[in-house]
Amino acid sequence: MNFVKYELDKKKIFLVDMSRERTRPFSELAQKALHTFLDQGKRILLINNRSWWSAWMMCHDCGHIPQCDHCDISIAWHKDMHWSFFGICHICKTQYEAKTLCSSCHTENVSLYGMGNQQLQNKLEAEFGVKSLLVESSVANSAKKISQLDHHLSTQNPQVLVWTSLLGNSCEIWRPDLIIVISADSLLHSPHYSASWNNFCFLDWLISWYECEHVILQSYDVEDTSIISACWHDLTGMKKRELKRRQDLNYPPFTEMCLLLYKHEIEENLFWTTHKLYQELLYLRDKYEMNDLEIYATPPLVYKIYGKYRYHIVLKWGGLRNFMEAAYSKLRIAQRGFKIDREPQSL
Ligand SMILES: [Zn+2]
Ligand SMILES: [Zn+2]
């Protein structure tokens, strides 16, 4: 068996190790549960945080992944209302024609990866004979839209909802009998220093919010502390471990951080401007003898957005506020075009 069962009061939580599963996106356990619950006319909530058909395309011959011309991210692939493919950049929204050939080596050996909600719905209909309702942030991002959604749920009463993990506490009207999280570790892959904590909060909320007795969590990282703590509803233990981790790695609340971001269309200008300020900050630190102050320059996770290259200067220290007051006025950081984030959440 590729899963561990946790029991909390009446709830049964099944944590499935996807690295040992042969089927995607549904594990063997999830497939069995889907058949059983659908046959019994019960309601199923599926959580998948990819809102397209496929997250990226890759060539098997040369490994090329088509990227947006203006941003450093792979093009996602959708199907339009006439069921034809097109590509889109989820940052700048530039659209691209569907490709059947690799644009690098011109072979036909290309495939789509990263199952999005459109594809998931298609699979549910083809393999389980059920039409599902897709609820993404765009249909629930205002009070009016949430009330329309609630009305739709109470009148249509769909048997299966496909949800993105970004949605919060709507849909109180519609209570599921089974929850399946396609990837319980998807929130862990963000550059957020509290990614683990956020993942715990989301899973813990999901498990405890609904009076749903059956929850299946699928994960490639079944040893992860945020996932196991959520299975045990262990808020105290998770808090303790998260604080210890942040203390060891010197993250807030044990230190103060500041992030300076510079953007430019020309890479040379980007490097020159960032390097100059970096050197000046180092000089100021040595002058004030603030030896514990950490300063480093690093590119962000997405290096180019909307055609502009980006670079960060990160500052970390318990007494950072005093240093930054001096740095702002002496080095005119904002006037030089740097965006200042005094409480950065992600790196
Ligand atoms: Zn783009
Ligand atoms: Zn290729």
Q: Is 137 within the bounds of a domain?
A: yes
pLDDT band at 343 (very low <50, low <70, confident <90, very high): confident
> Residue 91 C-alpha to ligand 2 middle, in angstroms?
25
Which ligand is nearest to the Cα of residue 76, counting in written order?
1
Task: Tell me the HSE value of 256 on the side-chain side, using a 13 A CA sphere.
Answer: 13
| 62 CA distance to ligand 2 middle (Å) | 4
The answer to whether residues 33 and 164 belong to one domain is yes
- Å from CA of 48 to ligand 2 middle: 29
In one letter, which amino acid is 13?
I
DSSP state of 67: B
Domain boundary among 205, 224, 245: 245
> Which ligand sits closest to the CA of 304?
1
In a domain, 325, yes or no: yes
Spacing, Cα 183 to ligand 2 middle (Å): 29
Please check whether residue 346 lies inside any domain of the structure.
no
**pLDDT recorded at residue 140:** 75
Res 129: pLDDT: 95
Last residue of one domain, picked from the residues 222, 245, 268: 245
CA of 70: how far to CAs of 50, 87, 265, 346, in Å?
21, 14, 10, 22
pLDDT (mean) for 209-237: 94
Cα(155)–Cα(45) distance, integer angstroms: 17
Ligand in closest contact with the CA of 94? 1
Helix, strand, coil percentages, rounded to 5, for the chain: 35, 25, 40
Calculate how far, in angstroms, residue 105's C-alpha sits from the geometric centre of ligand 2: 4
**How many whole angstroms from 309 Cα to the centroid of ligand 1?**
12
Please check whether residues 106 and 126 belong to one and the same domain: no
Q: Flag whether 101 is in a domain.
A: yes
Domain around 89: 60-113
Residue 115: strand, helix, or coil: strand
How far apart (Å, rounded) are the C-alpha atoms in residues 46 and 231?
Answer: 17
What is the Cα–Cα distance from 21 to 107, expressed in whole angstroms? Answer: 31
User: Does a structural domain hold residue 250?
Assistant: no
Q: Is the same domain home to 266 and 318? A: yes
Query: Taking phi first (over 0 means left), then psi (-120 to 50 degrees means alpha), and beta for anything else, what does residue 79 get?
Result: beta
Q: How far is the CA of 71 from the centre of ligand 1 (A)?
A: 4
The verdict on residue 347 lying in a domain is no
146 and 189: one domain? yes
Centre of ligand 2 from the C-alpha of residue 68, in Å: 17
Distance (angstroms) between ligand 1 centre and the Cα of 12 equals 42
In a domain, 44, yes or no: yes
Domain match, 322 and 210 both? no
> Cα of 171 to ligand 1 centre, how many Å?
32
Amino acid at 319: G
CA distance 149 to 140: 7
**Is the separation of the CB atoms in 16 and 215 below 8 Å?**
no
pTM for the full model? Answer: 0.88
Arithmetic mean of pLDDT over the chain: 91
CATH code (residue 267): 3.30.70
Q: How many domains does the chain have?
A: 3
Q: How far is the CA of 58 from the centre of ligand 2 (A)?
A: 8
* 235 and 103 within one domain: no
Domain end among 218, 245, 272: 245
Contact present, 254 and 242 (Cβ < 8 Å): no
Span from the CA of 304 to the centroid of ligand 1 (angstroms): 9
**Percent of the chain at pLDDT above 70?**
97
Of 333, 267, 322, the C-alpha closest to 292 is 322
Residue 65 alpha carbon to ligand 2 centre in Å = 8
Q: Mean per-residue pLDDT for 41-66?
A: 92
User: Quick one: 141 and 261 in the same domain?
Assistant: no
Model confidence pLDDT, tens digit, residues 90-146: 999 999 998 889 999 999 999 998 889 999 999 999 999 999 998 887 777 778 888
User: Alpha-carbon distance 90 to 54, whole Å?
Assistant: 12
- Residue 108 CA to ligand 2 centre (angstroms): 8
CA of 59 to the centre of ligand 2 (A): 5
- If asked whether residues 14 and 130 sit together in one domain, one would say yes
The stretches of the chain forming alpha helices (DSSP H) are: 28-39, 117-128, 143-156, 195-209, 225-232, 235-249, 267-287, 320-331
Asked if 286 and 321 sit in the same domain, the reply is: yes
Of 162, 214, 218, the C-alpha closest to 36 is 214
Phi, psi of 232 (to 5 degrees): -90, 0
Ligand 2 center to 67 CA (angstroms): 13
Q: In sequence order, what DSSP letters do the residues of 268-303 get, joined into one string?
A: HHHHHHHHHHHHHHHHHHHHTT-TT-EEEEE--SS-
Residues 45 and 170 in one domain: yes
Q: What is the pLDDT of residue 143?
A: 81
Tell me the ligand closest to 87's alpha carbon: 1
- % the chain with pLDDT above 90: 69
Residues 263 and 140 in one domain: no
CATH number of the domain encompassing residue 25 = 3.40.50.300
Ligand nearest to the CA of 69: 1
What would the pLDDT profile of 149-178 be if each residue is shown by its tens digit? 888 888 888 999 998 865 555 556 788 999
CA 111–ligand 2 middle distance (angstroms): 11
Name the more confident of 175 and 242: 242
Judge if 151 and 205 occupy the same domain: yes
pLDDT digit string (tens) for 262-307?
A: 999 999 999 999 999 999 999 999 999 999 999 999 999 899 999 9
How far, in Å, from the CA of 87 to the mean position of ligand 2?
17
Residue 251: inside a domain, yes or no?
no
Ligand that comes closest to the CA of residue 66: 2
